[in-house]
Chains A and B, each alone.
Chain A
Amino acid sequence: MLFQADHIAWQTPAGRRLDEFARALPPQPRLEVNVFGSAPLQLFIEPSFTSADIDLFGSEDVYDFLLQFVEANGWTQQHSRFYIQICDPLAFKSTVDWRARAIEVERHGHLFRIVHPWDVLVSKLQRLEEKDMAAFKLVLGKTGHPTEEEFIRHLQKAVDLYRPKFDEETARGDMLLNTRILWQELWGKSIDVRAAIIRPALLRAEREYQDFDPTLKERLGRIGGK
């Protein structure tokens, strides 16, 4: 499903705050800022979708600068009702190719990369609290997509999120279980996550590496032996 920069609802709270943020940034250096969490849903799907903050991350080397910048402008959770949360680049986990789908827009000389709503949903599936489920229902209700088949293929691109968690990651939910809950809730049916998502994804990855004839060089060697 295609979302474009001219679909962005700049008049929403998230849009206005982002614009303010971009305008206040010093013109140099030109920053690349990624927008994830619920803000992309407000910007692309439903302007009234409740979101208390905008989750942002830039490259690792501007993390401290962004933290200080947001603090200095009074846009932190302590000082603003609609606040900006600067996150570490490691905080956002979604499909492997989310950047290719993200919607890029130039604002006051800086690049904003807004995560595609489907990739936002993948990141929300790792937690799947009530508001995350609401996000799924919103996207489906408003756009009719992703369909079950579309989302299966999409989740195959996030197969690593299904791997067992480290002991230190207990705060994160269980993707396997959450996917089953999601399917029951959205499509009223159960899903065999291993059969539908994990195994096909692993097979796809294998093909990437092995989808050529490995005997070509051997054949070449035999020609010389003739």
Chain B
Amino acid sequence: MPPTGPYRLDRSWRKSRIAARILLREQAGRLTARDLRLAPLLAADKGVTSRLIDQALYAFSGRPYRVANPRRAAA
């Protein structure tokens, strides 16, 4: 079970992370039956957004999310 209380991940964020995993498996050509079933459900979910999926993809890649554009020099 995921932790509860203040540490619990936001629902939309969790769903977006699942969506991101599905996209990664699609890229790798390893989609499962569960992915095929969940993908349309998540795509129809208002809480799942491209921005959140993008953040999840960044998190999985181990890179810090682009809150600021990485090409920028420090001011």
Closest to B58 in A: A212
Interface string of A175-196 (1 = CB under 8 A from B): 0000000000000000000000
Chain B 17-44 interface 0/1 with A at a Cβ cutoff of 8 Å (1 = within): 0011011001000010001110111111
Q: Determine how close the nearest CB of chain A comes to the CB of B40; give it in whole angstroms.
A: 3
Q: How many chain B residues touch A (Cβ–Cβ < 8 Å)? A: 30
Q: Does A141 touch B at the CB level, under 8 Å?
A: no
Task: Knowing A157-B75, A224-B40, say if A204 contacts B26 (CB, 8 Å).
Answer: no
CB <8 Å contact, B53 and A217: yes
Interface residue SS majority, chain B? helix
Q: Are A220 and B19 within 8 A (Cβ)?
A: yes
Whether a CB of chain B sits under 8 angstroms from the CB of A226 is yes
B8 is an interface residue with CB less than 8 A from chain A: no
Q: Which residues of B contact A (CB under 8 A)?
A: 19-20, 22-23, 26, 31, 35-37, 39-44, 48-51, 53-55, 57, 66-69, 72-73, 75
Q: What are 12 pairs between A and B in contact, CB < 8 Å?
A: A208-B68, A213-B50, A215-B50, A216-B19, A216-B20, A217-B48, A218-B50, A220-B23, A220-B42, A220-B43, A223-B39, A224-B37
